Amino acid sequence: MRILHTMLRIGHLERSIAFYRDVLGMQVLRRRDYPEGRFTLVFMGYQPEQEAAVIELTYNWDVSSYALGNGYGHIALEVENASAYCEDVRAKGGKVTREAGPMKHGDTIIAFIEDPDGYKIELIQRPH
């Protein structure tokens, strides 16, 4: 068994695709509209779905925002240099919510950014 994907409900399809593609460097792996159900599914990732877990963006055509609640945590991405990645995200119009630095009670370098819908994404610096 393996993890296939994490699903996020989004309020603006093209804005979210642009963020995950242009800011985080993911590719659109597949996209399908379901007119009868009035929703669209877009699967995005760094590798084909057969090789790695991906993100499923679910866009319900009649909903423009969601309450995130307090049960959701974050998506985590491994990066070479968290500080440089934050600068790149900021330069591309992304929102950095915690600058790169050691995690509390540890020495792993982390940072946090947000996608356009407010979902948290943790950047974890690859150990050298």
pLDDT in tens, 87-118: 999 999 999 999 999 998 889 999 999 999 99
pLDDT tens, per residue, the chain with 128 residues = 788 999 999 999 999 999 999 999 999 999 999 999 999 999 999 999 999 999 999 999 999 999 988 888 999 999 999 999 999 999 999 999 999 999 988 899 999 999 999 999 999 999 88
Residues annotated as catalytic (active site), given as ranges? 122
Name 48's Cβ contacts closer than 8 Å, sequence gap at least 6. 29
The whole-model pTM stands at 0.87
β-pair partners for 60: 39
Q: Where does 3-118 show beta strands of DSSP type E? A: 5-10, 27-34, 39-45, 54-60, 75-79, 95-102, 109-114
Q: Which domains does the chain have, with CATH numbers?
A: 5-60 (3.10.180.10), 75-125 (3.10.180.10)
Q: Which of 46, 48, 38, 49 is nearest to 13 (CA)?
A: 38
H or E element: which one contains 108? none
